[in-house]
Amino acid sequence: MVDYSKWKDIEISDDEDETHPNIDTPSLFRWRHQARVERMEERRKEKEAIENRKMKHKKLYNETLEKLHQLKVNGEDTSNVQDELTKLKMEAEEIKRQEEELKHKDKVTPWNVDTISQPGFTKTVVNKSAPRYQKELSEEEKDTHFKIFVKENESLIKQYGMLKKYDDSKRFLQEHSQLVCEESANYLVFWCINLEIDEKHNLMEHVAHQAICLQFILELSKVMDIDPRGCVSSFFTRIQMADERYKIQFKEELQNLKIKIVQRAQDKLDATVREIEESERQKRLGPGGLDPVEVYESLPSELQKCFDLRDIPLLQETIAKMAPEEATYYMKRCVDSGLWVPDEKKNNKQLEDTSSENTHSDTNKEL
């Protein structure tokens, strides 16, 4: 139901009422109008001052949050920064109180001829575009599409990833609207992972921020059910003017992304190390398909000592003291891994001798 009460007190004009014949009516009307204009200008300056204070406070608050995060990561004392954060929260409450007071003043101030014709809100309408894909693509088709997109737009995506100011990012995405898509967001994340692997942590965090901005635009388009290119201006306006809860949500998403990037980078490093180790292991394999390193580590300490000292007589003596089955087992593994490479005939004779319970001395001679 429409609330008509807001129109009951309206200053339609400065010259709507009658004045005494002896009063200079035109001058009176000019004075009235000038006084009202001055009041409006004072109110405008008051709003502007509070808005500027609010913007500076948000910037300082975000910088303090980032400083607190860095101190926690480095394991340093955060008590001073915590105190600053508490003061900033108190200041935020004061700014909010002043905003409420201004809203109340605007609510109780009568409309007049200078304000009644101003629009109460503006609205941008963006036509819904056709879906990016008319059919569900296979994984192979998606991969091909992604590679083509990156080949055509990689330099532009990287330029966007390096921007620092919200206004610059907004203008760049509006000028290159083809970048407002999942492919760009995915590329930025892949780039972040590679930067983390290269230990370029600060640059990774900066590009991650740009990736989250783009991801928020894409999510906003889903909520509004419109083309994401039509949400660029809305997002950057909202992120710059939003309340603290929206900023906190943005920072939480950014932090989560950075954690995932660090984990993914570590996973890739671990996988690379495993591949290198497996490649080296394959190169080490002996004639029987066993790894000499693994075989050496599985040997009893007394046998390991023999190989460390390269002492054949000591090896003969150690083998002679072992049970035949145990000696045969270990020596066969040493041969299969290439850890022990005697003459083939000699080796076969050695293994036959060590398998006999009554030929310890013969084994010693063969070795």
The confidence score (pLDDT) of residue 83 equals 86
Residues 143 and 236 in one domain: yes
- Domain termination residue (choose one: 77, 112, 147): 112
**Sign (positive/negative) of CA torsion 213, 218, 219, 225?**
positive
| DSSP-assigned letter for residue 228 | G
Per the structure, the count of domains in the chain is 3
Residues 61 and 163 in one domain: no
Closest alpha carbon to 14 in 6, 2, 5, 25: 25
Residue type at 67 in one-letter notation = K
The confidence score (pLDDT) of residue 35 equals 65
133 part of a folded domain? no
| DSSP-assigned letter for residue 296 | H
128 part of a folded domain? no
Residues 176 and 308 in one domain: no
The confidence score (pLDDT) of residue 154 equals 93
The confidence score (pLDDT) of residue 347 equals 45
Give the separation between CA 153 and CA 178, rounded to whole angstroms.
9
The predicted model scores a pTM of 0.48
- Domain termination residue (choose one: 280, 308, 334): 280
Residues 251 and 306 in one domain: no
- What CATH number did the domain enclosing 147 receive? 1.20.58.610
215 part of a folded domain? yes
Give the structural domain span for 82: 4-16+23-112
Residues 153 and 276 in one domain: yes
Residues 164 and 276 in one domain: yes
229 part of a folded domain? yes
Q: How far is residue 146 CA from its own chain's centroid? A: 20
64 part of a folded domain? yes
The confidence score (pLDDT) of residue 112 equals 52
| DSSP-assigned letter for residue 138 | P
Residues 83 and 155 in one domain: no
Cβ atoms within 10 Å, residue 277: 10
The confidence score (pLDDT) of residue 73 equals 75
325: tokens are 């089955």
Residues 271 and 318 in one domain: no
Closest alpha carbon to 196 in 153, 260, 146, 273: 260
Could you tell me if residue 199 is left (phi over 0), alpha (psi between -120 and 50 degrees) or otherwise beta? left
Cβ atoms within 10 Å, residue 224: 14
Residues 152 and 274 in one domain: yes
Residues 199 and 272 in one domain: yes
**Whether the Cβ atoms of residue 201 and residue 192 lie closer than 8 Å to each other:** no
User: Per-residue pLDDT for the chain (367 aa), expressed as one digit of tens each?
Assistant: 444 444 444 444 444 444 444 444 455 455 556 666 677 777 788 888 888 888 888 888 888 888 887 787 777 888 888 888 888 888 888 888 888 887 777 665 655 544 444 444 444 444 444 344 445 677 888 888 889 999 999 999 999 999 999 999 999 999 999 999 999 999 999 999 999 999 999 999 999 999 999 999 998 888 888 889 988 988 888 888 866 777 888 889 999 999 999 999 898 888 888 888 888 878 878 777 888 888 888 888 888 888 888 888 888 888 888 888 888 898 888 888 888 776 544 544 444 444 443 333 343 333 3
123 part of a folded domain? no
Residues 245 and 156 in one domain: yes
| DSSP-assigned letter for residue 129 | P
Closest alpha carbon to 69 in 180, 240, 201, 182: 201
Give the separation between CA 61 and CA 63, rounded to whole angstroms.
5
339 part of a folded domain? yes
- Domain termination residue (choose one: 70, 96, 112): 112
| DSSP-assigned letter for residue 181 | S
**Length of the chain (residues):** 367
Backbone torsions φ then ψ of 45, nearest 5 degrees: -65, -35
130 part of a folded domain? no
Residues 198 and 298 in one domain: no
